Structure 1
Amino acid sequence: MKTPFRDRVELFANKDVLKDHYEPEEIRERDEEIDQYANALQDVVDGWEPDNVFVYGKTGVGKTAVTRYMMDALEYEADDRDGVDSVTSVEVNCHHHPSSYQAAIALVNELRGDTDSDPLTTGLSTSDVLNALFDEIEAREGTVLIVLDEIDNLDDDDMLLYQLPRAKTNGNIEDSQVAVVGISNDYTFRNDLSPKVQDTLCEREIKFPPYDANELVTILDDRAERALSSGVLTGGVIPQCAALAARDRGSARQAIDLLRESVNVAIEDERETVTEDDVETAVRRVERGRIKDSIKDLTTHGQYVLLAVTQTAIADDTPVRAKELYEVYADIAAEYASDPLSQRSVHDHLNDLSMLGFLRQHDRNYGRGGGQFFEYELDVDATMVQEAIADADDATV
């Protein structure tokens, strides 16, 4: 049988090294942040109660990778030192568990993963779920670090962030210690917490800046050495991938995606070397994929708001104020038989879209006469947005 598949082109030695799930054994270009993390967690190996830690930075700057590295290092150090209680770290992504209740159930089930206990399911009261979580923490008889990735997605209340740091004070645990490690790409996340939670957390903050081009070259050199066959890259490929990613968002993930997709372009053309022209082709592919994946994660009305800005941009009417954009958004919502949200909710969506990199936000201040307000414009390709929204599962617009 004749099939459409090509013979394997030996440009990749290990393609998985360039995939999202790959975790390097050594973290590159984050020595300062690792030192800050070590200082924040030093109390654990010294036998004291741990501090809560919040980690901030844009997508792709190493927050989660460094956190996992530090959790592994901390567990190893605790095992290796005499007189130090055991350390257990458990991670839950709040994007998949966006309420305190759901996140608490997920934490219980992660902690029960290596035991014979049955997994917890929904249907229990909030107090029962919290008691189950405290029981699992107490059973460890050591230090438990609760890692909440994408913590800014906890959208209902502050219950978990209030209860966990106060667990020992309230008598919920006695023989264990617990701390929260929150990871967020929203630098203003803490401001949205209630005053009582802010006072309870008393956290240490670690901020991850975007990578610069030189740092991304170091990261890409290391990945290319492991992922690619010798001699397949022409000299300018890695510097070009690094420069493009640094100029855009400073994301290592983006730089690695560009490198991988550049190699794919060469393979599809049945060539044995990767050139800078391949990088140029890869740029649009990677951007289209990023936009498509990110739009899938938006709510239906988040997509409507983004489409409203897109249509306004195509009409060459941006930057645009939120109140002017609202009419366009309301028309789109009505077109798809959906009641529009309030203007305040649309404003919140605009802020979220700016944080996610879809929009560019401008702060305008025209004094007493003109007032102060924000204007928004598209920061990605309009055609790509339209195509991605059209393909999204939960909005056929």
Structure 2
Amino acid sequence: MGLFEPDTDIFRNRDALREDYQPEEIVGRDEELQQYIAALQPVINGDQPSNIFLYGKAGVGKTACTRYLLDQLKSDAAEYDIDVTTIRTNCEDLSTSYQVAIQLINELRAPTDQLKPTGYPRRQVNEWLWEELDSIGGTIVIVFDEVDHIEDDSILYQIPRARANGNLSECKVGIIGISNDFKYRERLSSKVQSSLCEKELQFPAYDANELRDILRQRAEIAFYDGVVPQEVIAKCAAFGAKDAGDARQSLDLLMEAGDIAVEENAAKLTEAHVDAARTALERSRIADGVAGLTQHGHLVLYALVMIHEEGDTPVRARTIQERYEVVCDRAATDALVPRRMRDHLNELAMLGIASRVERNKGEVGGRYYEYALDTNPELLLEALDETVDIVGVTHEVQRRLGRSH
């Protein structure tokens, strides 16, 4: 017998819990789907597509709904002899309109005719893009996922106006922009706002009931019958609703719980498996986040952990600075100036390790931020083990660790 053999007791189709799995039906987004369908209606009417902007935190169904509806749109359009092409570009690693244009051209061209990332005049790149789009013809819907990564917005102005400006004659193009940043629209120039954001849809966080519906749907496909009790579904949904209303987190939690059940050779999933899965995922998330920090990022975080253990958070940056300077002295390194220290605090907030809340005390107190831990301190101290060994511990941290340094 080999080292590996198929498992047939828990998972029927584990891939159904993955982010890229496309269910046959979208659940928990009825209202948003109806608004989205109305925004895409001009395509079926043979008209110029509307430009649509979707806002919402990660894991709330923006991309899944887009994939689902565009597949339906292409299928339905074919019945009416309407030629619809969809192009999806993830902008996570694209910061300029030039890079986006190169990416679009390469997605439309054959592998043997790809452009290099740089080295072409901007006007020439735009002309190539118009040529590629016109060669497709018909109606084209371009999806820019994580569009807020584009720092200059010229391409978001040029594409919607390309036909009116005479750059396109054989096709009608619409843009769908997907963003996790609710304030991204405010950063766009006024001309882009007027041409791009014709239709705007907000995707709110899922509540526990909606997450339960999503998990039930996926569990029926992913697991064998009777393997996932309703209390397990409810617990995964409750954790997801509490954290961020994020379906991705709930699905990851259910998958990890299933993996733990497989490792234990269990007959079915239990709530204990969910608790163990949550700890494992949190430990992995924290370890990855802390590993990506610089030395001073570790020192700033440890200073915040110390203050948290003393019961003094939320706390202002200037108080953290004082403790950070003590920590740096113990680590035999020079402390950063307050502005740079705050940059590390803001990075911790961006990673979800800390929280940052703005306070406004009016004319007397002014406006300022307060910071607090937003993560399990025991797991943070585990990830900061080397820093703890170098800096040492307070009595409060020592009690948390249950050991001395």
TM-score by length of 1: 0.84
- Matches of 2:326 and 2:134 in 1, distance apart? 54
Match status 1:314 vs 2:313: no
CA positional deviation for 1:324: 5.7
Counterpart in the other structure of 1:394? none
User: 5+ unaligned residues in a row in structure 1: which ranges?
Assistant: 392-397
The SS at the match of 1:121 is coil
Conserved in 1, the CA contact under 8 Å of 2:206 and 2:247?
Answer: yes
CA positional deviation for 1:92: 1.0
The SS at the match of 1:164 is helix
- Which amino acid in structure 2 is aligned with residue 72 of structure 1? D
- Matches of 2:52 and 2:316 in 1, distance apart? 37
Conserved in 1, the CA contact under 8 Å of 2:53 and 2:197?
Answer: no
Per-residue CA shift, 1:187-246, capped at 9, x if unaligned? 011111223322332331111111111111111111111111122223411111111111
Match status 1:263 vs 2:258: yes
Residue number among 115, 126, 133 corresponding to 1:130 in the alignment = 126
- Aligned pairs (5 A) from 1:1-397: 3=3, 8=7, 10-82=9-81, 84=82, 86-112=83-109, 115=110, 118-122=113-117, 123-154=119-150, 156-291=151-286, 308-309=300-301, 311-316=303-308, 318-322=313-317, 343=339, 350=346, 354=349, 357-382=352-377, 384=379
- Matches of 2:204 and 2:67 in 1, distance apart? 18
The SS at the match of 1:170 is coil
Comparing 213-222 with 73-82, greater Cα deviation is found at 73-82
Comparing 36-45 with 378-387, greater Cα deviation is found at 378-387
CA positional deviation for 1:338: 12
- Which amino acid in structure 1 is aligned with residue 90 of structure 2? N
Residues 147 and 295 of structure 1: is their aligned pair in 2 closer, same or farther, counting only changes over 3 Å?
A: farther
- Which amino acid in structure 2 is aligned with residue 134 of structure 1? W
Conserved in 2, the CA contact under 8 Å of 1:310 and 1:382?
Answer: no
Per-residue CA shift, 1:267-293, capped at 9, x if unaligned? 111221211111111111122334456
Residues 293 and 201 of structure 1: is their aligned pair in 2 closer, same or farther, counting only changes over 3 Å?
A: farther
Q: How many residues align?
A: 381
Residues 77 and 291 of structure 1: is their aligned pair in 2 closer, same or farther, counting only changes over 3 Å?
A: farther
The SS at the match of 2:89 is strand
Conserved in 2, the CA contact under 8 Å of 1:304 and 1:332?
Answer: no
- Matches of 1:336 and 1:182 in 2, distance apart? 48
- Matches of 1:59 and 1:368 in 2, distance apart? 36
Q: What root-mean-square deviation, in Å, do the aligned CA atoms of Structure 1 and Structure 2 show?
A: 3.4
- Matches of 1:289 and 1:322 in 2, distance apart? 27
- Matches of 1:205 and 1:367 in 2, distance apart? 34
Counterpart in the other structure of 2:395? none
Comparing 283-292 with 162-171, greater Cα deviation is found at 283-292
CA positional deviation for 1:322: 4.5
Asked which structure has the greater CA Rg, the reply is: 2
- Matches of 1:290 and 1:64 in 2, distance apart? 23
Residues 235 and 36 of structure 1: is their aligned pair in 2 closer, same or farther, counting only changes over 3 Å?
A: closer
CA positional deviation for 1:7: 7.4
Comparing 95-104 with 52-61, greater Cα deviation is found at 95-104
CA positional deviation for 1:378: 2.5
CA positional deviation for 1:179: 1.7
Conserved in 2, the CA contact under 8 Å of 1:211 and 1:252?
Answer: yes
The SS at the match of 1:183 is strand
Residues 202 and 259 of structure 1: is their aligned pair in 2 closer, same or farther, counting only changes over 3 Å?
A: closer
CA positional deviation for 1:10: 1.6
CA positional deviation for 1:359: 3.2
- Which amino acid in structure 2 is aligned with residue 142 of structure 1? G
Residues 66 and 340 of structure 1: is their aligned pair in 2 closer, same or farther, counting only changes over 3 Å?
A: farther
User: 5+ unaligned residues in a row in structure 2: which ranges?
Assistant: 387-405
Conserved in 2, the CA contact under 8 Å of 1:151 and 1:184?
Answer: yes
Residues 378 and 37 of structure 1: is their aligned pair in 2 closer, same or farther, counting only changes over 3 Å?
A: same
Residues 70 and 6 of structure 1: is their aligned pair in 2 closer, same or farther, counting only changes over 3 Å?
A: closer
- Matches of 1:235 and 1:202 in 2, distance apart? 42
Conserved in 2, the CA contact under 8 Å of 1:310 and 1:378?
Answer: no
Counterpart in the other structure of 1:395? none
Per-residue CA shift, 1:7-38, capped at 9, x if unaligned? 73521111111122211121111111111111
The SS at the match of 2:369 is strand
